[in-house]
Amino acid sequence: MIRNALRDRVDAHVILLVGLLIFEISVFSILEPATYPTRANFTSMTLQASEIGLLALGVVLTMIVAGIDLSIVATANVAGIIAARTMTSLGGSSAGATATAIIVGVVVALAWGAVAGALNGTLVVGARVSPILVTLGTLTLFTGIGTAATEGKVVFGIDAFTWLGDGKVVGLAVPFLLLVALAVLLSLLLARTRFGFEAYLVGENARAAWFSGISVRRRQFAMYVASGMLSAVAGLVVLGRTNAAQVDFGQSFVLLAVLVAVLGGVNPYGGRGSPLGALLAVAVLQAMSTGLNQVLVEHSGSNFFKNFAWGILLIVVLAISARSR
């Protein structure tokens, strides 16, 4: 019964987001028929949405278990720096050496993400410190690590890795396909497995879950590790797109990732949410952002209205969702 109720809530919110996405695309296609409904524009949107979408997936996972991860951008930046340094130190002129450098660089970056997530999880779950305070602290810590490692300078990667961040398959950006694959995989994991069911119960009522024999701390810890690894993937995508990594990239992405997670239907107090909802939410925000940029820049030369529109959209969706529940 509980599983069905959760699924009904998620399905209703997904329908709402799909409707909003179709509405936005229709409106902006009418307003800007020469530029908006084009293949090049949609390809550009998929590229721009991928990084925030990957970061938002980590926020979604931690929010499901009544936590939050505000260190996602710092974790991603350090992952990109580590990967770039590893690849350039191991990369050579031969194809074999470059492939080896890429594989090792990716593995080391993902390992860093797991360690960063494990540190957050240990402090939140083991020391029972507020998730907001912990991840704000590790955000500063990881930023300091990145600054010390690079002295605040840009670190460059290798050209052979740019396909991950800038490649295209059938007109769709490779990082967007990666985002979709991860969102679908995580959604299936949460909706169809015992682990996912228990994670929702932990977020809904940790004490009741503990009395039911569920290892609350393990579920919470696993979500923070997963969030760290997803952040590392985002860092690798940024490295692939720009062929560079720096410690202060994307500082505003933290708030955007939280916005995407909440807009996607996650309950900030835990127990509800879906990676698929976050995927649709980032598509809704990107469709609106691109459309407003084209309309406002053409007619007024300014795009100041974009952030205001995002806030209005979030309030409207939350109001409709709350009323439907």
Domain residue ranges of the chain, discontinuous segments joined by + = 2-324
Least trusted range by pLDDT, from 74-88, 113-127, 275-289: 275-289
How large is the average pLDDT for residues 173-184? Answer: 93
Domain topology for 2-324: ABC transporter involved in vitamin B12 uptake, BtuC (1.10.3470)
Q: What is the pLDDT of residues 48-65, one digit of tens each?
A: 889 999 999 999 999 999
Q: How many CA atoms lie within 13 A of 122 on its CB side?
A: 7
How large is the average pLDDT for residues 80-108? Answer: 83
Distance CA 286, CA 48 (A): 8
With 70 as the cut, is the pLDDT of residue 297 above it? no
Residue 295: the pLDDT is 78
CB atoms within 10 A of CB 132: 13
For residue 69, which of 56, 79, 87 has the smallest C-alpha distance?
Answer: 56
With 80 as the cut, is the pLDDT of residue 170 above it? no
Q: Cα separations (Å) of 253 from 71, 213, 304?
A: 11, 37, 18
Taking a C-beta distance cutoff of 8 angstroms, is the pair 72, 257 a contact? yes
With 70 as the cut, is the pLDDT of residue 292 above it? yes
The pTM for the full model equals 0.89
Q: What is the pLDDT of residues 62-89, one digit of tens each?
A: 999 999 999 999 999 999 999 999 999 8
Name the H helices within 193-274. 194-204, 206-211, 216-242, 253-263
